[in-house]
């Protein structure tokens, strides 16, 4: 049902919500920002120690408290009200203009005329939790994901790298580990607020609100090669040979 809502309508709702949020934070949000940072820190500590009972309690107390604080914001209330109104408007329209259901073809058949097939990505966007590539051989697909909390492990030794491959990761809190075969040329562009960077045999670098770029000697001419682009608020990245 929501697929029938024009993108412009969604964009207006998002822009109005952001405007209300900024006004609310500028004039009334001092306490909320401090509370949100504190609760976020509790969630991070709880997630890193989630194997223990104390970690689980800390994580869920921080999560529930943060959600309740967010729900009390005027901007969030406006967003919920706007979505509810849109739901009823679209429900009314669906009664007057019902969708016509067409026969569904098997996967990829409907796009066959254009030579297009759907490719399942290696990773899905995930707010919480760790992700890693399979331990068995798999077909390579470029990685383009964003996430919230958790670690990401990408092992390129179990796949065949094409002439050019891309790994793009935007993450909030967590560690990223990428294992690259020796015959693959590598380029790394990394942005981080707090964290450390370790690439091959280079000394570990501590970074604060920085963007850095590195590449192997023969990256421009050599193939196969992989371009790694990462952006993290807080976390470490390790690129290792395997």
Q: If phi over 0 gives left and psi between -120 and 50 gives alpha, with beta otherwise, what is residue 234?
A: beta
The pLDDT value recorded for residue 1 is 47
Cβ count within 10 A of residue 151: 17
Q: What is the mean pLDDT of residues 121-132?
A: 63
pLDDT for residue 74 is more than 80 = yes
The pLDDT value recorded for residue 189 is 93
Percent of the chain, pLDDT > 70? 77
pLDDT for residue 198 is more than 80 = yes
Whole-angstrom Cα distance, residue 153 to residue 149? 13
Whole-angstrom Cα distance, residue 61 to residue 55? 10
Whole-angstrom Cα distance, residue 112 to residue 220? 35
Query: What is the rounded average pLDDT for all residues in the chain?
Result: 78
How many residues in the chain?
242
Q: What is the pLDDT of residues 141-171, one digit of tens each?
A: 888 888 777 788 888 888 888 888 899 988 8
Whole-angstrom Cα distance, residue 62 to residue 54? 12
Q: If pLDDT is split at 50, 70 and 90, which confidence band does 187 have? A: very high
Whole-angstrom Cα distance, residue 208 to residue 194? 5
Whole-angstrom Cα distance, residue 223 to residue 161? 9
Whose CA is closest to 235, among 151, 124, 166, 169? 151
Q: If pLDDT is split at 50, 70 and 90, which confidence band does 103 have? A: very low
CB 148 within 8 A of CB 209: no
CB 123 within 8 A of CB 168: no
What angle separates helix 53-71 from helix 30-48, to the nearest 10 degrees?
150
The pLDDT value recorded for residue 171 is 85
The two structure tokens encoding residue 97: 């203009």
The pLDDT value recorded for residue 227 is 92
pLDDT for residue 98 is more than 60 = no
The two structure tokens encoding residue 21: 């949020």
DSSP readout, 74-122? HHHHHHHHHHHHHHHHHHHHHHHSPPPPPPPPPTTTTTGGGT------S
CB 158 within 8 A of CB 137: yes
Whole-angstrom Cα distance, residue 225 to residue 164? 5
């Amino acid at each position: 049902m929501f697929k029938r809502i024009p993108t412009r309508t969604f964009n207006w709702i998002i822009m109005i919500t952001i405007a209300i949020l900024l006004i609310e934070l500028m004039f009334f949000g001092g306490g909320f920002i401090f509370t949100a940072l504190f609760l976020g820190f509790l969630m991070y500590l709880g997630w890193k120690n989630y194997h223990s009972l104390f970690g689980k309690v800390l994580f869920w107390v921080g999560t529930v408290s943060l959600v309740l604080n967010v729900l009390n914001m005027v901007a969030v209330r406006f967003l919920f009200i706007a979505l509810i109104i849109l739901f009823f408007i679209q429900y009314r329209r669906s009664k007057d203009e019902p969708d016509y259901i067409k026969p569904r073809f098997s996967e990829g058949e409907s796009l066959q005329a254009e030579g297009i097939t759907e490719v399942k990505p290696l990773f899905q966007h995930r707010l919480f939790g760790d992700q890693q590539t399979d331990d068995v051989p798999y077909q390579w697909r470029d990685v383009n994901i964003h996430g919230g909390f958790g670690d990401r492990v990408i092992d390129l030794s179990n796949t065949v790298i094409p002439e050019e491959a891309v790994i793009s990761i935007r993450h909030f809190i967590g560690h990223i580990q990428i294992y690259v075969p020796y015959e693959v040329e590598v380029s790394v562009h990394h942005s981080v607020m707090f964290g450390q960077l370790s690439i091959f045999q280079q000394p570990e670098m501590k970074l604060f609100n920085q963007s850095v770029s590195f590449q192997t000697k023969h990256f421009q001419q050599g193939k196969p090669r992989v371009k790694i682009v990462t952006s993290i608020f807080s976390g470490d990245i390790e690129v290792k040979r395997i």
